[in-house]
Amino acid sequence: MAALEWNRLRQYRNSNTKTKLVASANLATRFGTFRIHAFADAGGSEHVAVVRGDVKGGERVPVRLHSECLTGDVLGSLKCDCGEQLEKALSFISAQEKGVFVYLRQEGRGIGLANKIKAYELQEKGYDTVEANEALGFPPDARDYSIAGKILEALGVRSVILLTNNPDKLAGMRMSGIKIEGRIPLLVKPNKYNGKYLRAKKRKLGHLL
């Protein structure tokens, strides 16, 4: 099943579920000071929105939708571009009057941490990132962006400029009723470990790299 078709199915299934705000606090980081909001979705997963400034009623708000990547975000893996994208996005948003960084608990493009490591095993045998997911019985991208749409709605954001290279995120936000005013590329220089990964994202997933 194509990534966009899978996202449509996931969003249809979640169209009547609730994503609720459970806690908020100030957050000082090396990128700047933010307000962090914790949300819980109907399936029990927890997500956060890291917010700069007052975004309620905001239009053309810079927004990054970032899916959890333990290996890249925390461990500094060079197999992907996730950690560098996270840092670039937070640095960019911290320099703006307002913005939102949504961190979605959808590890491995939605297949989970253990399955992502299984996909790594297959990649060591010659599979690319898309082929590995499919060999494990998953679509290339199993993420559900309707959750992010509900988070932005709860924050009162009216329209966004997405920091992304992924056209599926643009489509997913529109399907969730979020008005897209533009896109800001979030490009990372390839290294000797992630070249094949980035080429697969560009050729097979349509990422604008």
- Judged on CB neighbours under 10 Å (0-12, 13-18, 19+), 204 is middle
> With 50 as the cut, is the pLDDT of residue 28 above it?
yes
Structural domain for 189, as ranges: 3-110+142-201
170 located within any domain:
yes
Where residue 109 falls (left for φ over 0; alpha for ψ -120 to 50; beta otherwise) is left
122 located within any domain:
no
Please confirm, yes or no, whether 143 is among the known catalytic residues: yes
36 located within any domain:
yes
Where residue 28 falls (left for φ over 0; alpha for ψ -120 to 50; beta otherwise) is beta
How many domains in the chain?
A: 1
118 located within any domain:
no
How confident is the model at residue 172, as a pLDDT? Answer: 87
Residue 35's DSSP bridge partners are 26, 51
How confident is the model at residue 1, as a pLDDT? Answer: 41
How confident is the model at residue 200, as a pLDDT? Answer: 87
Catalytic residue among 73, 128, 141, 168: 141
Residue 159's DSSP bridge partners are 179
102 located within any domain:
yes
126 located within any domain:
no
> With 80 as the cut, is the pLDDT of residue 14 above it?
no
Please confirm, yes or no, whether 13 is among the known catalytic residues: no
3-state SS string over the chain?
Answer: CCHHHHHHHHHHHCCCCCCEEEEEEEEEECCEEEEEEEEECCCCCEEEEEEECCCCCCCCEEEEEEECCHHHHHCCCCCCCHHHHHHHHHHHHHCCCCEEEEEECCHHHHCCHHHHHHHHHHHHCCCCHHHHHHHCCCCCCCCCCHHHHHHHHHHCCCEEEEECCCHHHHHHHHHCCCEEEEEECCCCCCCCCCHHHHHHHHHHHCCCC
Going by DSSP bridges, is the β-strand pair 159-163/179-184 parallel, antiparallel, or unpaired?
Answer: parallel
54 located within any domain:
yes
The number of CA neighbours under 13 Å toward the Cβ of 92 is 21
Report the 10 Å Cβ neighbour count for 74.
12
Give the mean pLDDT of the chain.
89
92 located within any domain:
yes
Residue 54 belongs to domain with CATH number:
3.40.50.10990
**Confidence band of 17 (pLDDT split at 50, 70, 90):** low
> 42-92: per-residue pLDDT in tens?
888 899 999 999 999 999 999 999 999 999 999 999 999 999 999 999 999
**What residue type is 109 in one-letter code?**
R
Instruction: Report how far residue 84's alpha carbon sits from residue 192's, in angstroms, rounded to the nearest whole number.
Output: 15
Catalytic residue among 52, 109, 143, 144: 143
